[in-house]
Amino acid sequence: MISTVLKQCFLLLLVFSCFTTSKGNEPERGEQRPNIIVILADDLGYNDVGFNGSKEVNTPQIDALANNGIIFSNGYVTHSYCGPSRAGLLTGRYQARFGMENNCEHAPSDPYHGLPLTEKLFSKRLQEVGYRTAIIGKWHNGSAAHFQPLQRGFDYFYGFLGGGHNYFPKDVDLRGNPYKIPIQENHGLGEFNEYLTTALSKHAVQFIKRNKDNPFMLYMAYNAPHAPLEAPQELINKYNHIEDKERRIYLAMVEAMDQGIGSIIDALKETDTFENTLIFFLSDNGGVYPEEWCKSFDWADNYPFRRGKVALTEGGIHVPFIAHWPAKITEPRKFEGLVSSLDIAATSVAIGGATDPDNLLEGINLLPYFTGEEKGSPHKALYWRLEEADNLWAIRTERYKYLHQPLPNVGLSFFNMIEDPYEENNIEGKHEKEQAELAELWNEWNEKNINNILFQTYPYNQEMKKVYNKLYQDRLKQSAAREVYIVK
Ligand code: CA
C-alpha cells in the first residue's frame, strides 16, 4: 500500500518537476515549479509595518521582503473583517458569490455553517497537481468535520478552527470558549507549549523542511495581532517608551510575528528554496478602530487611511500587501495598479500549473505584472458588499470610489482617489455621470451574488443548546425515577 502511494507520488513528481508556468497555465519545460507561501496577518494596521512608514513598529523581516519585492500600494482585501475576507482569498472568488458574508462561529455541531462545499479552494487546485499544501494558524471557515482544512485541499493543518485564539498554553480549556480550545494538528491534538505565534512559526519551518523537495503551498494564517492582546513580557518591555499599554502589547505581537517570518525565511534559505518561492504578505482587513460597538479597540494605526476593521473606508480594506519572489521579481518597486487578495489564488493556480476549467476564479494572474511584461492596473474595478440586507457596499475604480455605510462622517460617499486617496473630501452628488457609471458597475457585479447564508448560526446554536438541555433534563428525570437494584 505504502509503496503504491510512493510510486504514485514519484510519478507525479516526474510529471510535474520539469514544468513551470510563465504565462497563464502554459507549462514550460526545464524549471521547477515555485513554492507559494501566503502569510496573512490578522487585523494588522496599514501603518503597523516599517515599509509603510511606521517608526514605532519593528518589522525588519517583513520590510526586507517588501523592499526586495513588490509593494502593492493599492492592495485590497474583499471584506473588512476576518471570515469573509479569508473565504475570498482561499476561493479566489468574491465571497458574496456563495453567500459567505459573515464570520463563521466555532460551531462544530452545525453541519451548515461553513464555507460552502460547492466552492473549491486554491489549495485543492494545487493539491490536485502535486503540491503539498498546509494551513498553519487560523481557519475560520467552518468547524464541522466536513468543513475542516484537510477536507478542503490541505495536506497538513496545525492551528485552530475558530476566529481567534489565546496566545498562551496556560489558557487552554476544554469548556466552551473557542479561543481556549486545544490547538489542533490535522484531526488530533497539536503540541502547544509556548507563545502561539512562535509555535505556529515553528510548525511552518518544520513543514518547509519536510517538503523541501516537493513544490509546496503554505497558507500561514497568523492570528497575530488580533485580540486578545497577549505577548511575551520581554518583547513588551522593548516598547516601554510607548505610553499606551495596549499599543505596547500590540507592537510586541507584531514583532513576534515578524520574528516568526524571519524563521520561515531562514528555513527557505537553509533548504535552498528561497529563490523560487513566491511569498505574499498581507493583512485580512484593517487594524481595529474604536467604532461605536468596540469603543475601547484603539491600538492599531491605519494612517493615513480613515477608520479601520469593519469600515468600507480605506482603513478597513486597503491593507499592507506585498509579493516577494527572487526568481521572477528582479526589480523591487512599488506597484500602483489595483490589486486584490483574489489575485493570490489566480496567480498561484497559474504558476503552479493548476486548472480552473469553469473559469470561476475572479482574480488576475499577477506574474506578468511581476515581470513587467504587463503594465497598468490588473483590475478595472474592485467591489465590496458587507451584508446585502443592510445596504452596505463600495466600489473602487482607479479614479473613483463610491460607497455607503452608516458610520460617522461616512454615509453615502464619493471620492476622487487620485486627487484624494485618503477620502477627506466627499464629492457625492457633484459628479452624477461618474457616480451613475460606478453604480451600474456595482449593480452588474451584484447580479451574480447570492443572499448571505450565514445569518442564523447564533440562533441555531441557541436552538441546539435547547435540544441538548432537554435531553439532559430528560436524562436527569429518568435517573431520578430509576429503580435502584440491590446487589446481593
Ligand atoms: Ca481580521
Q: How would DSSP label each residue in 3-15?
A: HHHHHHHHHHHHH
Residue 26 pLDDT: 43
**Residue in the structure block whose three cell numbers are 499606551:** 244
Distance CA 283, CA 264 (A): 18
Q: How much distance in Å is there from the Cα of 331 to the middle of ligand 1?
A: 31
Residue 479 pLDDT: 75
Residue 180 pLDDT: 96
Tell me which of 82, 165, 318, 324 is the catalytic residue: 82
Q: How much distance in Å is there from the Cα of 356 to the middle of ligand 1?
A: 28
Note down pLDDT in tens along the chain; length 488 residues.
Answer: 444 444 444 444 444 443 433 344 444 545 789 999 999 999 999 999 999 999 999 999 999 999 999 999 999 999 999 999 999 999 999 999 999 999 998 988 888 889 999 999 999 999 999 999 999 999 999 999 999 999 999 999 999 999 999 999 999 998 878 999 999 999 999 999 999 999 999 999 999 999 999 999 999 999 999 999 999 999 999 999 999 999 999 999 999 999 999 999 999 999 999 999 999 999 999 999 999 989 999 999 999 999 999 999 999 999 999 999 999 999 999 999 999 999 999 999 999 999 999 999 999 999 999 999 999 999 999 999 997 667 899 999 999 999 999 999 999 999 999 999 999 999 999 999 999 999 999 999 999 998 888 765 555 667 767 777 787 788 778 877 877 677 87
Q: How much distance in Å is there from the Cα of 85 to the middle of ligand 1?
A: 8
Residue 381 pLDDT: 98
Residue 176 pLDDT: 76
Q: For residue 457, which of 96, 97, 99, 91 has the smallest C-alpha distance?
A: 99
- Residue 377's CB: how many other CB atoms inside 10 A? 18
| Class in CATH terms, 33-379 | alpha beta
* pTM, full prediction: 0.90
With a CB cutoff of 8 Å and minimum separation 6, the contacts of 195 are: 167, 168, 231, 232, 256
Q: How much distance in Å is there from the Cα of 170 to the middle of ligand 1?
A: 24
Q: How much distance in Å is there from the Cα of 257 to the middle of ligand 1?
A: 15
Distance CA 318, CA 44 (A): 11
With a CB cutoff of 8 Å and minimum separation 6, the contacts of 368 are: 23, 374
Helical ranges in 231-380 per DSSP H: 233-237, 245-270, 314-317, 342-351, 367-371
DSSP category for residue 474: H
Residue 15 pLDDT: 40
Q: How much distance in Å is there from the Cα of 475 to the middle of ligand 1?
A: 42
Distance CA 402, CA 399 (A): 10
Tell me which of 79, 106, 113, 140 is the catalytic residue: 140
Taking the alpha carbons at both ends of the chain, their separation in whole angstroms is 55
Q: How much distance in Å is there from the Cα of 42 to the middle of ligand 1?
A: 4
Distance CA 174, CA 167 (A): 15
Helix (H) or strand (E) holding 96: none
Q: Is 104 a catalytic residue?
A: no
Distance CA 219, CA 375 (A): 28
Residues near ligand 1 ion, CB 5 Å cutoff = 42-43, 82, 284-285
Backbone conformation region of residue 4, classed left if phi is above 0, alpha if psi is from -120 to 50, else beta: alpha
The dihedral through the CA atoms of 282, 457, 227, 158 has a sign that is negative
